[in-house]
Structure 1
Amino acid sequence: MKPDMKRLTWVLAAALMLGACATSSPAEVARTPSATGAVSEEEFKAMHTLRTDAAPERRGQPVELFDGSKAYLSLPPDAKGPLPAVIVIHEWWGLNEHVQAWADRLAAEGYAALAVDLYHGKVGANPDEALALVKAVDPDQATKTLLAAHAFLKGDPRIQAVRTGSIGWCFGGGWSLRTAMAIPELSAAVIYYGHPVTDPQQLSTIKAQVLGIFGTKDKSIPPETVQAFEKALDEAGVRSRIVEYDADHAFANPSGARYDERSAASAWAETSAFLARTLKR
């Protein structure tokens, strides 16, 4: 009987947290991140091509969040809570097996990694489908899903996260930033070439430390936009580090045609050190 009561208490507490956060989120967080940035839709679609390589074998499991959405949870082997935890936000392709492999990679480094699905089970097989999925995202529902993911990581008895972070790439990079804007309790946010917010007032809700990773050859997020983002973070009082590589958009995606192994490895070293410093302290 006691385990059932504990489970009920957890569910009710998380539901209350979700409802409270959802109603108090700043309105600007609900704005959909730009799909293409400084380039046209056709140019942006040309930046994304998936290879046919198979993803590594998955080690996690599907779970359901409090808003009814599905997610993929990967835990460190034999680990017990409390654990540092990371919300993983997919690229514009959706929650495919390659993103799940990223969650497994984070779990191998000692984090509870929860990969959310902002497309409700749909996955893009080509750039046209992916762009259509991006455009169909309801920003209010996406924010609720991210809040539900955070509540799950805090409340699940296997995790009981004390410190939480977010990470995302491209579409997910923009939403990683907005997760930090919506959840003041977040300790860290990693943004891989996601379209940034450059208004200091909007960024002022962020309490997390921010790591931004960009490519200088990325025409959708040119260096001047990255500089404006860095300046806005500084003006908002957000602790941040911006790292730029001589690389193109989507350079860190090993399943993409623009994958740059050297830059991706360096960026992951930055990410790994940043998460360890902010979430494992």
Structure 2
Amino acid sequence: MKKLKIYGWMLAGMMTIASLVYGQAPGAMAPDPMAPGRRNVSFPASDGTTLSGYLAVPEGQGPFPGVVMIHEWWGLNEDTTILADALSREGFVVLAADAFRGKVAREAAEARKQTTETPPAQIAADLDAAFRFLASHPRVRRDKIASLGFCFGGTQSMRMGARNPGLAAVVIFYGGGPFQNAADLGNLDKAGPVLGIYGEKDQGIPVEQVRKFEAALKERGIRYTITLYPDVGHAFVKSTTYNRGGSPEQAWKQAVAFLKENLR
């Protein structure tokens, strides 16, 4: 009997921990981060296509600041929607946009294919449509909307800022190919401040590129914060790491604090 009691207590504890990590009710199975993400809203693209996304709304009446969240090169999967829920609990209406119109990859080759074959103009137009949809939401403060993206999405967040002076802040988690020249920054100086988060051991984004991006921001007089975390590489903030301590949790908390400061 004693062993059974201990086992039941341990199982309940494990279920409670899982519920805290993944935002699921106790007893629910932890979701597969690579599975296609939940979608609960739709809105029109500029070409008439119906786009879908995942909208996470905090408790309360609002209005709240908003964030357009952009996924990694895998597509809009559960990893992204879990992070959208986590950010929403901090007091933001979060729209996890879908840059690949429903395509979700599990293998790197497939992710690379959809990233390179999706027309850049279509991606830009769809993300701008997501921005407009979020700005029209009755519980969102339309003048307090930020873009935030991871990896592929980090690059898209940077580009959104260059296109949209109406953004109140821009957050870039290790976006590849950061702008190297001040002339490429577009309207980024008219948008809100920029936060760039990178890993010093990232093999795909050398520190030299990050420093050139920083120099370009400085040349244009853009308010920015660039943080290089020394012990991590690429894609270190995930739904399975953002609240587990170390650099991933520090980076996540830095982004949340940055958004709260600049969208208040």
TM-score by length of 1: 0.75
Cα displacement string for residues 62-95 of structure 1 (whole angstroms, at most 9, x for unaligned residues): 11122121111010013332x2000000001110
Asked if the contact 2:83–2:239 (Cα under 8 Å) also holds between the matched residues in 1, the reply is no
Share of identical aligned residues, percent?
Answer: 38
When Rg is computed on C-alpha atoms for both structures, the one with the higher figure is: 2
Look up the match of 2:17. none
**1:218 maps to amino acid:** D
Larger RCO of the pair (alpha carbons < 8 Å, separation 6+): 1
RMSD between superposed Cα atoms in Å = 2.3
Helix, strand or coil at the partner of 2:251: helix
* Higher mean displacement: 106-115 or 142-151: 142-151
- SS of structure 2 residue aligned to 1:161: strand
Which of 203, 208, 211 is equivalent to 1:224? 208
Question: Could you say what secondary structure the match of 1:163 adopts?
Answer: strand
SS at match of 1:54: coil
Number of aligned residues: 225
Gaps of 5+ in 1: 1-51
Q: CA deviation at 1:140?
A: 0.9
Instruction: Provide, for residues 111-159 of structure 1, a one-character-per-residue CA deviation record: whole Å limited to 9, x for no partner.
Output: 0100110111010011111111111221111111111111112112232
> How is 1:101-120 mapped onto 2 (pairs within 5 angstroms)?
101-120=82-101
Q: Which residue of 1 aligns with 2:227?
A: 243
Q: Give the Cα–Cα distance (whole angstroms) in 2 for the partners of residues 221 and 90 of structure 1.
A: 18
1:38-73 CA-partner distances (Å, limit 9, x unpaired): xxxxxxxxxxxxxx9734xxx985111221211110
- Please say if residues 60 and 73 of structure 1, whose CA atoms lie closer than 8 Å, have aligned partners that are also in contact: no
- 1:183 aligned to 144, 148, 164, which one? 164
Cα distance in 2 for partners of 1:145, 1:167 equals: 15
Q: Which of 107, 120, 144 is the matching residue for 1:126?
A: 107
Regions of 4+ moved over 6 Å? none
Asked whether the equivalents of residues 204 and 236 of structure 1 are also in contact (C-alpha less than 8 Å), the reply is no
Query: Is 1:263 the counterpart of 2:238 in the alignment?
Result: no
Query: Counterpart of 1:199?
Result: 181
Task: Report the counterpart of residue 60 of structure 2 in structure 1.
Answer: 78
The aligned residue for residue 14 of structure 1 is none
| Structure 2, unaligned runs of 5 or more | 1-29
Residue identity opposite 2:111 in structure 1 = A
* TM-score, normalisation: structure 2: 0.80
Partners of 1:217 and 1:224 in 2: CA distance? 12
- Aligned residue number for residue 99 of structure 1: 80
Cα displacement string for residues 155-208 of structure 1 (whole angstroms, at most 9, x for unaligned residues):
122324331101111000000100101110001111011021112012141122
> By percentage of residues, which structure has more strand?
2
Q: Distance in 1 between matches of 2:54 and 2:253?
A: 24
